[in-house]
Amino acid sequence: MPELVSARIRLAAALLAALPSICAAQLAPARDPYDPAGMDLAPKPARVMSERHKGPFAEGASLSFGAALKPLDPAPVKEVRLDTTHKIIEIAPGVKFGAWTFGDQVPGPTVRARVGDRIRFSMTNRSDEPVPGVRLTAAPMMHSMDFHAAMVSPQDKYRSVAPGQTIEFEFTLNYPGVFMYHCGTPMILEHIASGMYGAVVVEPREGYPTKVDREYVVIQSEFYVKPDPGKRKVGKAPLYVLDSDRLRDSRPTYTVFNGVHNGMVKNPLVAKPGERVRLFVMNVGPSKTSSFHVVGTIFDRVWFEGNPDNQFRGMQTVLLGSSNSAIVEFVIPEKGAYVMVDHHFANASQGAIGIIEAGGKGEEQEIEHHNIAASGTPDDPEAVQGKLAFESKCLACHSMGGGRKLGPDIAGVTKRRTDAWLSKWLKSPEKMLESDPDAKAMLKEYGNLPMPNQNLPDAEIRQYLKYFHWFDSRAGTHAH
Ligand SMILES: [Cu+2]
């Protein structure tokens, strides 16, 4: 009996002795995944060489060149080459702009990697290489690379290099996120507005906590362009150059997704009903915010800046300042065309619009079928101008025989409205919405989304009417 008692006492004593350490273990702060002690904060100095790289302008297994994002390349060291070039890009139908690029495209390729990976970067300034088709659009100049995904000395790694020079540096990815990269050479504003930007997607070390069926990159940016004062041409089309007055006043001519006005309206992203979609959204700016929204669904998760630690649930839009980003995930509820927009509608009307096509195969065929007429070209030069302007400014919200989008299908409009009515509407939709009963009824039918006044000059309005009449005069374009 005494033995038993003493055994119990020994047990209790042992438990008591252990107690403080159990408590300490429970009270100790959880390990901080962003503890600087575990980060690489002392990368090697950059190397600048006068050697020129001659191969492809962009290289690396971790790079994706379009909206569809490739799966993670498991290699812990990522070789990334992004050379700078000067190049003509088409930012809207007929608008050929003298751009400056990373990797010979705008936006530059997207890098995908994981926390702990090392990026081994190299870049040759090839802005002095001739642009096919035109003489140099801008004199060769200094460029540099600033990775928001890195923690490095800007004076060392983000140095400007001259045409013909190559810079190389390495860094480790310490935080997950969707990070901008851009040229940091003064005037930075001009270098960014000319096209020198892209994204680095850094996954958490253990990957994302959710599973998705589709992954796409959507990069919003602004263009500020004017026809070349020197009247240079690209083939037969006028060359467009940077408009520095508009740039300084933050008055863009185009606000776009993935570098092309309405690009993802013409080539929608693809998904299926019931699927879960993950978008890596980044707003480059350089000067506007984006209020990113997808019509017809709700963001189940929003990871602000692309880091799952910054989680919101059930969001309708996400507000992104210049160089902010987010990962948004949502379910495609049913068959349909889900429109991605910057809900600042003035920006959307400049081209910040795209479509996720979900099982809408029928609709695609219908657009093709109806567009047989639309793909023809009018003879009257005014109608041609009208068609070009329509494709660049109006297709975001309208189709020509492809069914309704945010606004009505314009096919047949000259049969249901008089020229006088249409002219008044295009001149000042807001006045018509106040006074005209037909306009009021239409507004109601289109979910009270008023068509923006686009300050169209009279000459341009005449061109639209010529184009609409030409379209409607062609037989069989709208049998129903
Ligand atoms: Cu630059």
Cα separation of 373 and 358, whole Å?
Answer: 26
Q: How far is the CA of 190 from the centre of ligand 1 (A)?
A: 8
Ligand 1 center from residue 261 Cα (angstroms): 22
pLDDT-wise least confident of 207-221, 315-329, 335-349, 389-403: 389-403
Cα of 227 from ligand 1 centre, angstroms: 22
Question: What ranges make up the beta strands (E) of 252-404?
Answer: 254-257, 267-271, 276-285, 290-294, 299-304, 311-315, 317-320, 325-331, 336-342, 353-358
Kindly state the percentage of the chain with pLDDT values over 90. Answer: 68
CA 133 to ligand 1 centroid distance, Å: 22
Residue 223: CB partners within 8 Å, gap ≥ 6?
91, 97, 193, 252, 253, 254, 255, 256
DSSP-derived secondary structure letter, 43: P
**185 CA from centroid of ligand 1 (Å):** 5
Residue showing tokens 């020197």 = 230
Q: Tell how far the Cα of 42 is from the centroid of ligand 1, in angstroms.
A: 26
- Listed in sequence order, the DSSP H helices in 28-143 are none
How far, in Å, from the CA of 102 to the mean position of ligand 1?
Answer: 9
Centre of ligand 1 to C-alpha 351, Å, is: 25
pLDDT on residue 273: 95
Q: Which pLDDT tens digit goes with each residue over 63-100?
A: 999 999 999 999 999 999 999 999 999 999 889 999 99
**How far does the centroid of ligand 1 lie from the alpha carbon of residue 51, in Å?**
19
> And the tokens for 18?
């252990």
* 359 band by pLDDT with thresholds 50, 70 and 90: confident
Give the distance (Å) from ligand 1 centre to CA of residue 224.
16
**What is d(CA 217, CA 62) in angstroms, rounded to the nearest whole number?**
14
Q: Quick one: tokens of 228? A: 């070349």
Beta-strand (E) ranges in 93-196? 95-102, 110-114, 118-124, 146-147, 166-172, 177-182
Mean pLDDT of 292-297: 96
Task: Report CA(105)–ligand 1 centroid distance (Å).
Answer: 14
Q: Which of 138, 357, 396 is nearest to 256 (CA)?
A: 396
Can you tell me which residue has the tokens 């349909």?
336
Distance CA 10, CA 169 (A): 62
Q: Ligand 1 centre and the CA of 38: distance in Å?
A: 33
Distances (CA, A) of 444 to 126, 421, 439, 464: 54, 18, 9, 24
* Residue in the block written with tokens 């299908």: 409
Least Cα distance to 223 among 133, 314, 44, 96 occurs for: 96
With the CA atoms of 465, 466, 467 and 471 taken in that order, what torsion angle do they form, in degrees rounded to the nearest 10? 100
Average pLDDT over residues 430-450: 89
Residue 235 banded pLDDT, cuts 50, 70, 90: confident
Q: What's the pLDDT score for residue 469?
A: 94
3-state class of 438 per DSSP? helix
* pLDDT value at residue 371: 35
Task: Choose the CATH number for 38-210 among 1.10.630.10, 3.40.50.300, 2.60.40.420, 2.40.40.20.
Answer: 2.60.40.420
Alpha-carbon span 348 to 276, nearest angstrom? 25
pLDDT higher than threshold 70 for residue 276: yes
What is the rounded CA–CA span in Å between residue 440 and residue 350?
24
Higher pLDDT residue, 287 or 133?
287
For domain 216-365, the CATH architecture is: Sandwich (2.60)
Neighbours of 60 (CB within 10 A): 21
Q: How far is the CA of 242 from the centre of ligand 1 (A)?
A: 14
Q: Kindly write down the DSSP assignment for every residue of 261-287, as one continuous string.
A: TTHHHHEEEEE-TT-EEEEEEEEEESS
Boundaries of every domain in the chain: 38-210, 216-365, 372-473
Taking the centre of ligand 1 as the mean of its atom positions, its distance from the CA of residue 142, in whole angstroms, is 6
* 367 CA → ligand 1 middle, Å: 40
| Closest C-alpha among 103, 71, 67, 63 to residue 86 | 103
Among the residue ranges 13-27, 32-46, 119-133, the one predicted with the least confidence is 13-27
Q: Do domains 216-365 and 372-473 have the same CATH topology?
A: no
Cα-to-centroid distance, 44 and ligand 1 (Å): 23
Tell me the pLDDT tens digit for each residue of 321-344. Answer: 999 999 999 999 999 999 999 999
What is the pLDDT, as a whole number, of residue 147?
Answer: 98
Residue 367 has pLDDT above 70, yes or no: no
Q: At what angle do helices 381-393 and 458-473 cross, to 10 degrees?
A: 100
Mean pLDDT across 231-236 = 87
Task: Give 265 Cα–ligand 1 centroid separation in angstroms.
Answer: 30
90 CA distance to ligand 1 middle (Å): 19
Question: pLDDT exceeding 70 applies to what percent of the chain?
Answer: 88
Query: What spacing in Å lies between the alpha carbon of 72 and ligand 1's midpoint?
Result: 28
| Residue listed under structure tokens 């929608």 | 268
To which residue do tokens 């997607």 refer?
A: 201
Give the 3-state secondary structure of residue 370.
helix
Cβ(280)–Cβ(306) below 8 Å: yes
- 10 — pLDDT class (breaks 50, 70, 90): low
Distance between Cα 127 and ligand 1 center (Å): 9
CA 197 to centroid of ligand 1, rounded, Å: 9
CATH placement of domain 372-473: 1.10.760.10
Average pLDDT of the segment spanning 446-464:
88
Q: How confident is the model at residue 369 (pLDDT cuts 50, 70, 90)?
A: very low
- Helix, strand, or coil here: 467? helix
CA of 41 to the centre of ligand 1 (A): 26
Separation of alpha carbons 381 and 458, rounded Å: 16
Contacts of 141 (CB under 8 A, 6+ apart): 127, 163, 185
Higher pLDDT, 445 or 212: 212
Phi, psi dihedral angles at 339 (to 5 degrees): -90, 125
